[in-house]
Amino acid sequence: MSSLFSFQHRLSLSLFSSPSFPNSSDSSLSAAGNKLTQSSPLFAPKDLYDDDDALMFVTSRGSGQDMSRRVRQRVEENKVVSPSCCSVIGYEDLAPKAQHYVDWTSLSYDTVLLLFTRLNYRDRASLASTCRTWRSLGASSCLWTSLDLRPHKFDLSMASSLSTRCANLHKVRFRGLDSADAIVNLRARNLREISGDYCRKITDATLSMIAARHEALESLQLGPDFCERITSDAVKVIAFCCPKLRKLRLSGMRDVNSEAIESLSKHCPQLSDVGFLDCLNINEEALGKVASLRYLSVAGTISMNWRVAAESWEKLPRLTALDASRTSVDHVSVSRLFKSSQSLRVVCALNCPLLEHDVNFKGKLLIAKFDDNSKMPNDIFSHWRDLISNDETMRWIEWIISHSLLRMAESNSQALNNFWLNHGAKLLLRLMQSSQEDVQERAATGLATFIVVDDENASIDCGRAEAVMRDGGIRLLLTLAKSWREGLQSEAAKAIANLSVNANVAKAVAEEGGIDVLAGLAKSMNRLVAEEAAGGLWNLSVGEEHKSMNRLVAEEAAGGLWNLSVGEEHKNEIAKAGGVNALVKLIFRWPNGCDGVLERAAGALANLAADDKCSTEVARAGGVHALVMLARNCKYEGAQEQAARALANLAAHGDSNNNNAAVGQEAGALEALVQLTKSPHEGVQQEAAGALWNLSFDDKNRESIAAFGGVEALVALAKSCSDASTGLQERAAGALWGLSVSEANSIAIGQEGGIPPLIALAGSEAEDVHETAAGALWNLAFNPGNALRIVAEGGVTALVHLCSSSVSKMARFMAALALAYMFDGRMDEYAMIGTSSESASKSVSLAGARIKALKHIESFVTTFMEPQVFAAAALSSAPSMLAQVSEKVRIPEAGHLRCSGSEIGRFVTMLRNPSPILKACAAFALVQFTIPGGRHAMHHASLMQNAGEARILRSAAAAANMPREAKIFAKIVLRNLEHHHQAECSKGKKSVIL
C-alpha cells in the first residue's frame, strides 16, 4: 500500500533577489494520498511567467465583458509562420546584460523616496519594513496620496494594514468587487478621486457605502465595463453624500431616471462633468436641468430621443462639450445644438450612422468618422487644440475618444475597416502619448483589440497591424511597456503580443529591441504584466526560419508558461488556449542543444499535469512521448529533472484517467526513469524516484520497473540518501513502498538489503519521510522473512518510536500495523523453520521484542478510546452510539490506503489471535479500511463480503473472551459492511431504472 502524489514547481523570491530555478524538493505530503505541492505565486527572474502557450489565444472583452482581446499565435505543422530576422538580432545581443549593484545605505533620502514612488503599494509597504530609516521614509505622506490597487489582490485585510498610511490619500484606482468592498477600510476620509474597472458585480450597497464614507469625493468613474447592478438609487445616494462632486462617469447602467439626475442637480452644485455611457435609458429632460454641466457624455445610449435632448440641452448655460458617439444622433440635432447653444464648442459623434454629413460652424468642432484621408490633418489633436484653446476640454476629448474607440474596436465591425486603416490607428497611437494614464491604457487596449478580426480562429487583420507599424506604433508601445506603471506595462505588452502574430510586425518588434523589453516584463512580480509579456514572447518565438533568435524567445515564453502554470486558476486557461499542444511541439522542435527551452517546456507541462483535466490534455497532445524522449535522450540535468517531474504528475491521476498505464507502456519510459535514479544530480534522482512511486500503482508497471532493475536502483538510492534532502528521502522510500505491494518485489527488496535504509529513514524527524518509510516497512513486514530481517536490523525500536512519538497519525497507524504483522505468530513459525540464513546468523530475542511491540500497539489504540464514549458503547449497540465511536477513532487519511484480499484476510484472522492487543488492533484497522467515505472503503467491504468475513466479525462481536474495544470495533465494521451493501444495492436499482 502507498499513496499517489504529484507536485508543482515552487518559486520564491525576495525583493531585489535573482535566484535561479529552484527544485521542487520542499514539497509537502497530502495525507489523503495525492501529493500536490502548491507553489507560491511569486515570480523569479530568467525563468519567468508566461501566460498562454503556443496557440493563438483570444479573449474578447466587449460590451461590458472583458476589455480587450488577446492573441497567441498558432503553430501549425509544416507551415512557416514568420520570416527570418536573425540577421537583425545576433545571439550576443540577447545575452544578459551585466548587473551593477549599489550600496543602498549610500542612497540619499530623495533617491529612496523616488524609488518608493516607482513601486506598487505592496512592494512599497514591504520595502518600508527593511529598516527603521526606510520605514520612516516609507510612511511619508507624499507617497500615499495616490494608490493603484489593480495590480495585486486587494481585500479587507490588506486595506486594514494600509489604513494607517492613508490619512492624506486623495486618489484611488481599483479593480473588481472585492477591492471596492475593501476601499472603505482604508479610512481615507479625504479621498477625492475614485476610479474602478471590472465593476460588473458592484451593487448599489457597495457603491452607496463608498459614497457615504467619502464625503469629500470630487470624482467617481466606473467602467468601461458595464455596471449592470448599479441603479438610480445608488446615484441618488452619491448625490446626497458627496456634495463636492465635480465628475461622475458610469458605464452600462440600465436606467438613469429623472429622480437620480435631479438629485445630482440639487445636491452637487459643482458637478460639471457627467458621463452616462452605454446606458439603456437616460432621462434627457432631467439632464437639461443640471445647470452646472460643462461636459456631458451619453455615448452608446441608442435609445436617446434627440429632439427632446436638443430642446433641453440647448438651454444649459455652461455646456461646452457633448459626446454623442455611437448613438442615433443626426445632423439636424447637432445643427440645432450648435446654433442654439451659446456655450457649446465641441460635439463628438464617432460612429453615428445617421450623421450623414458634416455640420460646419465657425468656431465649433465636430468630431466624427471621416471617410477619406483628406479630412484629417496629420496631427489632429494639435489641430483641435488650436481650435479649442482649452486644456481641460482637450483632456476630456482625449478621454471620451479613447473610450469610444475601444468600444468600436470591441464591436469588430468590418464596416469600420477603412476608418481603422485611414484614421483609427493614428488616433489610438496619438492617444497613447496622452498625459493621462487611463487614456494611455485604454488606447493600448484598443490597439490590441481592433486588429483582432476573428475571435474563434484567433486571427488578426494584417493590414491594420502593418498600419500600426507604419505609423510608429511599435516604438510607442515599447516605450509604454518600459513605463514603471504596471497598468501601462500590461496593456502595451498585450498589444505587442497581438501585433506580433504578423510576421512583418514581429520582425519590427525584434529590431526595436522588443525581445529584451518583453523578457524583462516576463519577470514581473505582477501576474498580468508577466502574462501578457510571455504571450508576446511566445508569438515572437513562432517560425521555422529564424530559430537562432526564436530559441531564446521560446525559452522565455516557455519559462513564462511554466510560472503561470503554477497557479490553479491559469491551468485550464492555458490548456484552452492551446498551450499544452504548444509546449509539446516546442520539445519536438528543439530536441537537442536547446536546454533552456526544454527545461522550461517540461516544467510547464509538469505543472499543468498536476491538474487532472490538464493531465489528460497533456497525454492527448503527445506529451507522454515527448517527455519520455527527453528523459531518455537529453543530457541536461534541468530538462531531465522537469521531464521526470512531469511524468510523475501524469501518473498521479490513476483513479481518474489512464495516464499511469500510458506512461508505463511508452517504450523506454520505465527504463529511462530507473536510469535517472542513478544520476549524480539530486534533483533528477528525486523526480525520477517520484515518478516510479506513482507508476508503481499500476500492476504491470510495478513488475516492469522491477524487471528493469528498479528494485536494485531504488535500494541503492535509499542507502545513499541519508544526508540528502527530505524530498529525495521521501520519494526513495515511497517508490520502495509502491514496489513492495508485489510479494515478489517485497522479497527482492529484503534480499537486496532495502530494509536497513528504510529503518534509518523511519527514524527521520521529517514527517513526510518517516511516514513513507513506515508504509514501506508495513508492506515488507507482511512477508515473515522480511519481518525477521526488520527485527534483526533493529527495526522494532524504530517502529515503536514511530508508533508512540510521531505527530503523524498515519505514521503511527502504519507502524502499529507493521508491528502487528511481525508478531501475529507467522514470523515465529518462519524463524523456527530456519529457512533464513540471515536469521540463523543473528541471535534474536523475539520474545523481548514481542513484549515491547505489543505494549506500544496497545498504547496506540488506547489513544483513540475516549473512556466515557466507549463505556456507553459497551452498554448499547445503538447505531448513534457506534457512529459516535467511529467518528472518534477515524483517521481520515487511512481511508486512502488500498489493501489486497490477503491483507484484509490477515487482519480478520488476527481477530482469533490469542493476544487481546492484536485482536483490538486488527479490529481497529478494519474500522479504518471500511469507514464510509474512504477512497477504497467499498473495495474493502466487497472483499470481506465475498470472503464471508462477516461471519467471523459477528462471532468476534459476540465472543465473551473478546476485549471490549475489539467487540465494539467489530460491531462498527459490521455496520460499515451493511452500509456499503445497501449503497451497492441502491446503485444497482438506479442503474436498472435508468
Upper half-sphere CA count for residue 675 (Cβ side, 13 Å): 14
User: What sign has the CA pseudo-torsion 652, 656, 661, 667?
Assistant: negative
Residue 890's pLDDT is what? 93
Q: What pLDDT is stored for residue 100 in this prediction?
A: 56
- The dihedral through the CA atoms of 94, 98, 103, 108 has a sign that is negative
Q: Using CA atoms, how far apart are residues 233 and 845, in angstroms rounded to an integer?
A: 86
Whole-number pLDDT of residue 40: 27
Cβ partners under 8 Å of residue 850, min gap 6: 823
What is the predicted pLDDT for the residue at 48?
Answer: 25
**CB–CB of 647/686 below 8 Å?**
no
List strand residue ranges (DSSP E) for 213-318, in order.
219-222, 247-251, 255-256, 273-277, 281-282, 295-297
Report CA-CA distances (Å) from 747 to 359, 900, 903.
95, 17, 16
Please answer whether residues 93 and 519 qualify as being in contact, where contact means their C-beta atoms are separated by less than 8 angstroms: no
Contact indicator for 228, 251 with CB cutoff of 8 Å: no
Q: What is the pLDDT of residue 535?
A: 64
Low-confidence ranges of the chain (pLDDT < 50): 2-99, 371-374, 544-549, 835-843, 989-994
Start-to-end C-alpha separation, the chain: 36
**Residue 637: per-residue pLDDT:** 92
Q: Give 203-255 pLDDT, tens digit per residue.
A: 999 999 999 999 999 999 998 889 999 999 999 999 999 999 999 999 999 99
Q: How many CB atoms lie within 10 A of CB 684?
A: 26
Give me the pLDDT at residue 607, please: 83
* Angstrom distance (rounded) from CA 442 to CA 862: 68
C-beta of residue 730 within 8 angstroms of C-beta of residue 772: yes
Give the 3-state DSSP-derived string for 120-145, with helices as H, strands as E and coil as C. CHHHHHHHCCCCHHHHHHHCCHHHHC
pLDDT the model gives residue 606: 86
Q: For residue 172, what pLDDT is reported?
A: 95
Show the DSSP H helices in 314-390 as ranges: 331-340, 380-388
Q: Per DSSP, what are the bridge partners of residue 452? A: 460
